[in-house]
Amino acid sequence: MPFSVKLLQGLDKLEPDLKSVMFDLLGEIERNQEESVTKREFVEFAQKTDENFQHVWKAIGELAEAQQRTEQRVEALAEAQQRTEQRIGALAEAQERTEEEIRRLTRRVDNLAVRLTQKIDDLAVQVGGLSNTIGYGIEDKSYPLLKKVIQRDFGVDVESLFRKNIVYSRDHFDEINIYGEGVRSGEKVYIVGECKAQFGANDVKRYAALLERVGEHLGGPIVSLTLAYHYHPQAEESLKAQGIKYYWSYELLDSPSP
């Protein structure tokens, strides 16, 4: 510690031997005072260090507890993840079973569709055959009466009417339901008629196309007519628009003799 000026001035007045002793005494006092201060600061430092260590150990303990809780949560999440994966696996297996069942049902539906198509085709053949049978019946019975109707309505004398195939090539021909050859005003004409049980709009289109093919092949005037048990309204309109004469089967029975 520093000494005051007054004390130093007083020491200068002492005898050299006494002055030396006093300086030694003051130096010892200063050293003791420094050591005393150093020990007190050390004790305070030690106390603060201990307190800091206590805080550190406490924080370490809290961190350890938090780490343990985290590990527990991670373990719980891992178990939940495992349960989720097991459920996903179960769902995947169920999905595979469902897809297999769908494939099985699809095969059954396809087989049923094929069988149904075959049945429909067979029914169409049977119905077509029945329609042809009815149509042929109309033709056979109508030929004698149609000869009179053709002479009356078209002024054509026809010796006979019959079914005939108009052959264009080896693999291409048309079957004519009502065919005949006659004379009108000294000119040869061809009778090309169509007879069906039922006449629809599409039948009119097919008959018009047939008339065009046959007309080009025969190269002479054609008398066109149709005969049916029933005509669809659209078929009647189309026949009228194209100027094609059509007859209902019952009309022939009411036709007067020429």
pLDDT tens for 158-188 read: 989 999 999 999 899 999 999 999 999 999 9
Q: What is the DSSP letter of 220?
A: S
- Domain carrying residue 178: 133-253
Q: How many domains does the chain have?
A: 1
DSSP symbols for 185-202:
TTEEEEEEEEEEEEE-HH
Would 82 be classed as within a structural domain?
A: no
- With a CB cutoff of 8 Å and minimum separation 6, the contacts of 173 are 165, 166, 167
Q: Would you state the pLDDT for residue 107? A: 84
Would 25 be classed as within a structural domain?
A: no
Would 146 be classed as within a structural domain?
A: yes
| CATH code (residue 242) | 3.40.1350
Chain position carrying tokens 């300086």: 23
pLDDT tens for 232-250 read: 999 999 999 999 999 998 8
Would 104 be classed as within a structural domain?
A: no
What is the Cα–Cα distance from 77 to 94, expressed in whole angstroms?
25
Q: Would you state the pLDDT for residue 127? A: 41
Q: Would you state the pLDDT for residue 126? A: 41
Would 244 be classed as within a structural domain?
A: yes
**Which of the residues in the chain have pLDDT under 70?**
1-11, 13-14, 19, 21, 32-39, 41-43, 45-46, 49-50, 52-53, 55-57, 59-60, 63, 114, 116-140, 253-258
Would 206 be classed as within a structural domain?
A: yes
Would 41 be classed as within a structural domain?
A: no
Would 223 be classed as within a structural domain?
A: yes
